[in-house]
Amino acid sequence: MISGKNEKLRKALSVLILFVFIPAVVLSGVFIFRSKNYSYGIFAVAALSVMLFACGFDRRKTGTRRLVLAAAAVTMASVGRAVFSFVPGVNPITAVTVLFAVYLGGEAGFMIGAFSALISNIFAGQGVWTPFQMFAWGMIGLIAGVFSKQFAGHTVRLCVYTFFAGLAYSFIMDVWTVIWAYNTFRLSYYIASISSAAPYTAVYAVSNVVFTALLAKPFSEKLGRIKIKYGI
């Protein structure tokens, strides 16, 4: 298909997509759907930025071990979400994403967060929210990966980060809810949306801390052991 044999064509296409296709999609949509231009704009930006990250991931040289480990992390997060799906608002995706992102780096962290959202939604239900979840969890992973030096081995810092990441996740999703429904960002709607989701947000943030605190220690132990055993 597009990802054909011609390496030059492939490169040209990726540049074209970045500088022509994405702005064109966003701008034309904003002018076409005038009564919904803001919601369309942020939807398109979220969906396309996830796509862009995936493209970047493709171009970068990622070691095979890193790649397979990322797949395993996605599995852990998705299975964890399915296991805890009986408690509303509780899932270990943030905790697992952050812990792996600290070890694997920002880009892999973004991919783990984003694809955990995508795959677990195959079971939990896809929707208009999928690109936003991918974006929100991806950003949580990206930031954790970028600050991996500060986070590595510090369980308390990690717990604080996942707590605020849980809050930020809910707030990002609420921004989307408000803009989608009303096409404007009005504080009264936003406060209404946040307050109606408050119990979930609280449960989510606290459960993140619990997951991180429980997982951080076995995690660093196992990875340290593997580092010695295989000399990574």
Partner 1 sequence: MTCFDIFNPLTVFIFFACVIVAGIFTMNPVISLISLAGALAFRLALPVKKDKKIHIWTVLMTIACMVFNPVFGHIGSTVIVVINNHNVTVEAALYGLFLGIMLSGAVYWFASFSAIMTSDKITYILGFVSRKAALVVTMALRFIPMYIRKARQMSTDQKALGLYKDETIVSRLRGTMRVFSGLLSYMIEKTIITSDSMSARGYSGRRRRNYSLYPFARRDALFLAFSLVFAACAVYATAKNALFYNFYPYMDKISTQPLAMLGYIGYGLLCICPSVTEGGNRLKWRCLRSKISHSDIRLPIR
Residue choice 42, 90, 98, 118 for contact with partner 1 (CB under 8 A): 118
Which position among 148, 182, 194, 202 is part of the footprint of partner 1 (CB under 8 A)?
A: 182
Contacting range for partner 1; rule: CB under 8 A; set: 61-69, 133-141, 143-151, 157-165: 61-69
Nearest in space to 91 (alpha carbons), one of 119, 59, 50:
119
Instruction: By CB under 8 A, name the one of 180, 194, 202, 220 that touches partner 1.
Output: 180
Pick the closer one to partner 1 by CB: 128 or 156: 128
Residue 78 touching partner 1 (CB under 8 A): yes
Nearest alpha-carbon partner for 77 in 96, 57, 52: 96
Position 55, amino acid: C
**Of the candidate residues 8, 125, 149, 228, the single one contacting partner 1 (CB under 8 A):** 125
Instruction: Kindly state whether residue 175 participates in binding partner 1, applying the rule CB under 8 A.
Output: no
Which residue among 18, 45, 55, 167 contacts partner 1 (CB under 8 A)?
A: 55
